[in-house]
Amino acid sequence: MSVKFYIPENQVPLEMHKVRVVQKLNLLPVSERMKAIQDAGNNTFLLQNRDIYMDMITDSGVNAMSDKQVAAMNVADDSYAGSETFNRLKAAVREVFGVDNVLPAHQGRAAENILAETFVKPGTFALMNFHFTTTKAHITRLGGEVIELIDKKGLIPQSDDPFKGNFDLKKLRSTIKEKTPDKIAFVRVESGTNLIGGQPVSLENMLAVCDICHEAGIPSVLDASLLQDNIYFMKIREPRCKYMSTQSIYQLLASRFDIIYFSARKLGFSRGGFIISTDRKWTDMMMEFVPLYEGFLTYGGMEVRSIEAAAQGLLESLDMDYISQGPEFIAYLAKELDDYGVPVIKPAGGLGCHLNCSEIVPDIPHDQYPAAAVGAAVFIAGGIRGMERGTMSEQREPDGTERFAELELLRLAVPRRVFTLSQIKYCADRVKWVWDNRKLIGGLRWTQEPRVLRFFFGRMEEIGYWQEELVAKFKKDFGDSL
């Protein structure tokens, strides 16, 4: 029995694990960091790992494995069909969610592809609290339209609302009425809402969405990729969940949603993706796409070792000692930055700490990509790689005009069980330095702008010479050698 006490506020987070395998890191001098980000076209996706000190681009597929996961990988049963590994995965899904029907896919977006192929037809609508990039791409590719119904409180960058991912239930009801249930492919709840700062949805709100869907005869879908963080927040922020076990929350959700899918790169500390369902009829509808796009039903394009790791990782997702670590480190980082006056998304969510770049560099217009510019500055200041979540991550309108993002964020993801607290403190200090020197930061412009997914492949350059000025200031403050 663990005696850890879970309150992130004003406490030093306590890891309930120790580190037994380590990986050497590099920290380049500041001029070389500037060269590296310029060579990468100011796009953090194009940086090389060897040039990075803290990789905070994502929490996907980069979480540390436990000793039990590594051990499980060694007993993986490699057979095309009917492998014992898949049976162990099914047993883990049964233990966590209480569900028997499981379809594998090679990662979360592949599960989304199967879901979209099954339910989305031209002219249909997919209603959701907020979109995720890959989810939306699959739906629109098939002629469907995404409608976002997040409660407007979710888009206020700084507030004390504990569940900013919640649906506006009134709007959900009126949209179903307006569009008519037969035109609605499904309603999707994204737990730990990614693009608005890893913000959770309350249990009450999720169950209300399920009730509305059941009443209208519309499939209810839960994207559970970030559910472990979301369940941590339910336990500490939602009174009715305080005395529920994590397992009882997972199982209650699985009994009420028609379909649950997730990226096991996040939920499960591994790789791959899964689609699960209490009612066999949903699995049967989607099953045919698995061999077509992924692989046979007992491996789904995944390597068996990763399936073993996911099975063990899912069991660990029940354990508050493990699932508290990410959100508590993020809360710590957000509080340090907030104390320094740096504008961050509040309250802190799961996945990572999000800098509100519209407030850091208010004079840089959307079409000079403020969040990407702050991302380049943070890399120059500390060798820290974040991810732009603003206008650069949007796609232009068909007529070529920019679609300005609602929030200009730089995401500093905190992979689970990976960083030490001293690294988190280093990150806070370097971001503070960027904040103190924010007046030096300028905009960016495209040198190569791909038509689709430009945030992955596109290249930009600084407008003027602000990066050289930033480096000169850094050397003045810290000395030449750093």
| Nearest CB to ligand F0G, comparing residues 181 and 450 | 450
Q: What sign results for the dihedral spanned by CA atoms 229, 230, 232, 233?
A: positive
Residue 132 is among the residues annotated as catalytic for this protein: yes
Give the x/- contact pattern for ligand F0G in 347-376, rule: CB under 6 A.
------------------------------
Regarding 395 and contact with ligand F0G (CB under 6 A), the answer is no
Token output for 419 = 């960083």
Sign of the CA dihedral running 307, 309, 311, 317: negative
* Binding residues for ligand F0G, total number by CB under 6 A: 15
Answer yes or no: are the C-beta atoms of 33 and 46 closer than 8 Å: no
Helix (H, G, I), strand (E, B) or coil at 481: coil
* Beta strand ranges found along 405-468 (DSSP E): 409-413, 444-448, 459-462
* Annotated catalytic residue 455: yes
Residue in the structure block whose two tokens are 């974040």: 386
Binding test (CB under 6 A) with ligand F0G, winner from 99, 128, 149, 226: 226
Residue 129 CA to residue 149 CA, distance in Å, equals 5
Q: Which residues contact 13 (CB under 8 A, 6 or more apart)?
A: 324, 325, 328, 329, 331, 332, 421
User: Using an 8 Å Cβ cutoff, are 381 and 440 in contact?
Assistant: no
The answer to whether residue 270 forms part of the interface with ligand F0G (CB under 6 A) is no
| Residue 135 zone, left/alpha/beta (φ > 0; ψ -120 to 50; rest) | alpha
**Nearest approach, Cβ of 200 to ligand F0G (angstroms)?**
12
CB 371 within 8 A of CB 448: no
Q: Is the dihedral of CA 395, 401, 404, 410 positive or negative?
A: positive
Q: Which is nearer to ligand F0G, 69 or 393 (CB)?
A: 393
The residue number with the shortest CB distance to ligand F0G is: 108
85-124 positions binding ligand F0G, by CB under 6 A: 107-109
Q: Catalytic one among 51, 151, 223, 258?
A: 223
Minimum separation from the CB atom of position 60 to ligand F0G (A): 4
Task: Based on the residue annotation, tell me whether 340 is a catalytic residue of this protein.
Answer: no
Of 108 and 386, which CB lies nearer to ligand F0G in the complex structure? 108
Q: Which is nearer to ligand F0G, 109 or 475 (CB)?
A: 109
Q: Of the two residues 261 and 474, which places its CB atom closer to ligand F0G in the complex?
A: 261
Give the relative orientation of helices 421-436 and 370-382 as an angle to the nearest 10 degrees.
120
| Nearby residues of 396 by Cβ (< 8 Å), 6 or more positions away | 402, 403
- The question of whether 153 is a catalytic residue gets the answer no
Question: Measured from the CB of residue 197, what is the shortest distance to ligand F0G in angstroms?
Answer: 12
Q: How far apart are CA 63 and CA 418, in angstroms?
A: 6
Q: What is the largest CA-CA distance in the chain?
A: 66
Q: Tell me if residue 369 is catalytic.
A: no
In Å, how far from its chain's centre is CA 76? 28
Q: Which is nearer to ligand F0G, 56 or 376 (CB)?
A: 56
Asked if residue 225 binds ligand F0G (CB under 6 A), the reply is yes
350 or 442, CB closer to ligand F0G? Answer: 350
Per CB under 6 A, 273 contacts ligand F0G: yes
Kind of pairing between the strands at 273-277 and 352-356: unpaired
Minimum distance of ligand F0G from residue 352's CB (angstroms): 9
Interaction of residue 194 with ligand F0G, rule CB under 6 A: yes
Catalytic residue among 5, 18, 50, 80: 80
Choose between 333 and 440: whose C-beta lies nearer to ligand F0G: 333
Put the strands of the sheet holding 259-263 in their side by side order.
101-105, 273-277, 259-263, 220-223, 184-190, 125-128, 145-148
Q: Is 385 in the site for ligand F0G (CB under 6 A)?
A: no
Q: Binding of ligand F0G at residue 58 (CB under 6 A)? A: yes
Strand locations in 236-336 (E): 259-263, 273-277
Name the minimum Å distance from CB 390 to ligand F0G. 14
Element (H, E) at 223: strand 220-223
Residues 128-147 that bind ligand F0G (CB under 6 A): 132, 134
The smaller minimum CB distance to ligand F0G, of residues 254 and 471, is found at: 254
Question: Which of residues 138, 265, 430, 438 is near ligand F0G by CB under 6 A?
Answer: 265
Smallest gap from residue 13 Cβ to ligand F0G (A): 22
Q: Given 305, 389, 411, 416, which residue is catalytic?
A: 389
- 395 is written with which tokens? 């796609």
Residue 178, helix vs strand vs coil: helix
Considering only residues 405 through 464, tell me which ones interact with ligand F0G, judged by CB under 6 A: none
Q: Which residues bind ligand F0G (CB under 6 A)?
A: 58, 60, 107-109, 132, 134, 190, 194, 223, 225-226, 263, 265, 273
Active centre residues (catalytic): 80, 132-133, 223, 266, 389, 455
